[in-house]
């Protein structure tokens, strides 16, 4: 594991990705300390609407005279917490389902994987729109739950594939011969071996989940205003695009930097684990 980490960090791109992700985490944690204003306070509705970037408001202000820099900084909190928590949920479910399907084989495997096929045949944004638009305003907790419950399909396939190939390996056969039970084989012998691909999937998954949350919030069914989410700020910005370019622009840059960070990190870890895939 140490050599894998070393190999990963030897790549300049991984270090860049790590730096981006760490900066982002710091911003999310310290948002109340570094944000110049409160993200939802309407500062001055008479004089302070749609002000361009200036020393007092580096990113300008929005239609409700709120400070955009503060909203973007606080947006990191929402974006990261929603993405990380829902990925943790989805990867946990995916790993369990993948383990069960791969180990049990037969009917259970068939039923689970056909279900996964069907779920993957529905475009993700469409499925989420149906659920989120119909159950009106589920809150951030509900959003995390729904995102997690609808995105474990890929992870379960990857884990199942790994388990199917690991199952035939000698160390598993040896454990079986020694009379080790099924559950113990799954948890003590297989799980540690599928950890690496799962971690890579999860890292890339956080980046993708940030995009999904932003897309849903842009469509007005994700995180609801006035809570600052990058996606919904971009939606608000598009309404005043011709008079206030800054509102749609800055949260988008934050989004790109975030997702690029996670992609660099995830790709780099995959390369380090499997040098051939470069």
Partner 1 sequence: MARFITVRLAHAAGIVLLVATLTFFLLHLAPGDPLTGVGEYSFIPPEIVEQQRRNFGLDQPVYVQYARYLANLGRGEFGYSFREHRPAAQVILDRIPNTLALAGAALVIAFALGVLIGALQAARPGSRLDDALSMATLTLYSMPVFWLGVMLLLLFGVNLGWLPVGGVVDQAAYPYLSPLGRLGDRLSHLLLPALTLGLVGAAVVARYQRAELLDVIHQDFVRTARAKGLSRASVFWRHAVRNALMPVVTLFGLFFPLLLSGAVLVETVFAWPGIGRLAVDSIRARDYAVVTALAVIAAVMVVLGNLIADLLYRVVDPRTRNAA
Question: Rounded to 5 degrees, what angle do the CA atoms 109, 95, 263 make?
Answer: 125
Interaction pattern, residues 122-141, with partner 1; x per rule: CB under 8 A: xxxxx--xxx-xxxx-----
What residues from 158 to 177 belong to the interface with partner 1 (CB under 8 A)? none
Subset of 259-278 contacting partner 1 (CB under 8 A): 259-260, 263-264, 267
In the complex, what is the shortest distance from the CB of residue 25 to partner 1, in angstroms, rounded to a whole number?
17
Closest separation between CB of residue 184 and partner 1, Å?
34
From the CB of 122, what's the least distance to partner 1, in Å? 6
Distance CA 101, CA 54 (A): 57
Minimum distance from CB of 70 to partner 1 (Å)?
20
99 vs 155, which CB is nearer to partner 1?
155
3-state secondary structure of 67: strand
In sequence order, the β-bridge partners of residue 67 are 61
Q: How far is the CB of 32 from partner 1 (least distance, A)?
A: 26
Minimum CB separation of residue 12 from partner 1 in Å reads: 9
The beta-carbon contacts of 83-87 under 8 Å, at least 24 apart in sequence, are 83/206, 83/207, 83/209, 83/210, 83/213, 84/206, 85/144, 85/148, 86/143, 86/144, 86/145, 86/147, 86/148, 86/151, 86/209, 87/148, 87/151, 87/202, 87/205, 87/206, 87/209
Smaller CB distance to partner 1: residue 205 or 231? Answer: 231
Nearest distance in Å: CB 56, partner 1:
24
The structure tokens listed for 131 are: 């659920």
Rounded Cα gap, residues 275 and 4, in angstroms = 10
Residue 26 touches partner 1, criterion: CB under 8 A: no
Residue 67 contacts by C-beta under 8 Å, 6 or more apart in sequence?
35, 36, 37, 39, 43, 57, 59, 61
Q: Both tokens of residue 83?
A: 């993405």
Report the site for partner 1 in 89-128 (rule: CB under 8 A). 114-115, 117-126
The region of 1-9, 26-34, 185-193, 212-220 touching partner 1 under the rule CB under 8 A is 212-220
Coil vs helix vs strand at 240: coil
Task: For residue 64, give the nearest of 47, 87, 86, 81 by alpha carbon.
Answer: 47
**How many residues in the shown chain lie near partner 1 by CB under 8 A?**
42
Q: Which of the stretches 37-45, 62-70, 170-178, 253-261 binds partner 1 when contact is defined by CB under 8 A? A: 253-261
- Residue 42 or 150: which CB sits closer to partner 1? 150
Indicate if the alpha-carbon torsion angle 221, 223, 227, 232 is positive or negative: negative
Contacting residues toward partner 1, per CB under 8 A: 114-115, 117-126, 129-131, 133-136, 207, 211, 214-215, 218-219, 231, 234, 237-238, 241-242, 245, 248-249, 252, 255-256, 259-260, 263-264, 267
């Amino acid at each position: 594991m140490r050599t894998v980490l070393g190999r990963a960090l030897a790549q300049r791109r991984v270090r860049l990705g790590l730096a981006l992700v760490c900066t982002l985490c710091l911003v999310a944690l310290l948002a109340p300390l570094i944000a110049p204003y409160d993200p939802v306070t309407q500062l001055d509705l008479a004089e302070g609407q749609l002000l361009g970037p200036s020393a007092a408001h580096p990113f300008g202000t929005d239609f409700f005279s709120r400070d955009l820099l503060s909203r973007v900084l606080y947006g990191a909190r929402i974006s990261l917490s929603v993405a990380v928590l829902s990925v943790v949920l989805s990867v946990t479910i995916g790993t369990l389902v993948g383990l069960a399907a791969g180990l049990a084989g037969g009917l259970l495997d068939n039923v689970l994987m056909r279900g996964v096929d069907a779920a993957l045949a529905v475009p993700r944004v469409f499925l989420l729109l149906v659920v989120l638009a119909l159950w009106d305003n589920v809150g951030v907790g509900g959003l995390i739950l729904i995102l997690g419950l609808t995105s474990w399909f890929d992870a379960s396939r990857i884990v199942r594939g790994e388990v199917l190939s690991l199952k035939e390996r000698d160390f598993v056969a040896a454990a079986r011969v020694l009379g080790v039970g099924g559950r113990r084989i799954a948890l003590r012998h297989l799980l540690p071996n599928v950890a690496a691909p799962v971690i890579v999937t999860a890292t890339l998954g956080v980046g993708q989940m940030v995009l999904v949350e932003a897309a849903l919030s842009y469509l007005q069914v994700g995180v609801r205003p006035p809570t600052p989410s990058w996606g919904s700020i971009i939606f608000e910005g598009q309404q005043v695009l011709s008079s206030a370019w800054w509102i749609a622009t800055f949260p988008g840059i934050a989004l790109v930097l975030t997702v690029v960070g996670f992609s660099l990190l995830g790709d780099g870890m995959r390369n380090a684990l499997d040098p051939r895939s470069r």
